[in-house]
Amino acid sequence: MAFTQATAPTGLRTSEILSADNSIPERHIVVATLRNAAPRLGLSASVISTLDAMLSCLAPKRNHHTVFASNATLTFRRNGISDRTIRRHAATLQDIGLLVRRDSPNRKRFTKHNRHEGKALRFGFDLSPLFDRLHEIASMAAEVMKEREQIDYLRAKIRAAANASLTDNPNDEIALDIFRVLRRKLSLKDCEQILSNLPISVVDAESVDDESPVSTTTMTASDGQFVRHHHKSNKEHIDKESIT
């Protein structure tokens, strides 16, 4: 099973999410992709960490994706979380479609080979669905990253507009309320709604080609005097916004 670069919007990614160099993507790439796609998959950080522990039990070179590690081993690799939590996380992964539980009659996890027929029975956590869906998950991750970039841009635009209003009127209640709203985690729809209701003008930043050379100001000297840049003495309104 070979992997190639997943499709993503132009300009969103500068490196491959899934490498085509190896038939099985490296564990850290798989986990990073899952973390980015987590909002679309409904995965918590704790469940992803358990899945990471499962992935750590797989051999780098293998012809299957079944985890044979016991719950005790997985508990140890998850820094001592309970056996019950491991079972709950495994059930979540199965419900989402990233794992299939193949239980033996005695609940042990092992492989039983039939060398004459070249077949094997594998009992354990089968992660084949995860690897089968990696391209789909990578596309989800790219969409999430694009949305985050849009939200960051709109938040900066809203903040700049509110700050411009406070420069003219330090007691502008609407602008002050906007800064309070920006302390919260906002969705793309929230940001677009705020912008659509702003009663103040918002000037878009000019389009800049990142590849173009940056213009510089020439410094001249005459009789020991330098031409200096003059900055406005009025400082931009700084809101103590918590990082979201």
Q: DSSP class of residue 224?
A: T
pLDDT above 70: residue 83: yes
Neighbours of 8 (CB within 10 A): 17
Q: Domains of the chain: which residue ranges?
A: 27-132, 135-205+238-244
- CB burial string 212-241: b at 16+ within 10 A, e below: eeeeeeeeeeeeeeeeeeeeeeeeebebee
158 contacts 194 by C-beta, under 8 angstroms: yes
pLDDT tens per residue, range 212-230: 454 444 344 444 443 344 4
Strand partners, 120: 113
d(CA 229, CA 102): 70
Q: DSSP class of residue 100?
A: E
When pLDDT is cut at 50, 70 and 90, the band that residue 4 belongs to is: very low
Longest dimension (CA), the chain: 95
In this prediction, residue 113 carries a pLDDT of: 74
pLDDT tens per residue, range 18-45: 544 446 889 999 999 999 999 999 999 9
When pLDDT is cut at 50, 70 and 90, the band that residue 210 belongs to is: low
Neighbours of 32 (CB within 10 A): 13
Neighbours of 196 (CB within 10 A): 7
- CB burial string 158-193: b at 16+ within 10 A, e below: bbebbbbbbeeeeebeebbebbeebeeebeeebbee
In this prediction, residue 196 carries a pLDDT of: 83
CATH architecture of 27-132: Orthogonal Bundle (1.10)
| CA within 13 Å, CB half, 218 | 2
**What's the token pair of residue 96?**
């989402």
When pLDDT is cut at 50, 70 and 90, the band that residue 100 belongs to is: very high
In this prediction, residue 205 carries a pLDDT of: 45
pLDDT above 90: residue 175: no
Question: What average pLDDT does the segment 196-225 reach?
Answer: 50
The pTM assigned to this predicted structure is 0.68
pLDDT above 70: residue 94: yes
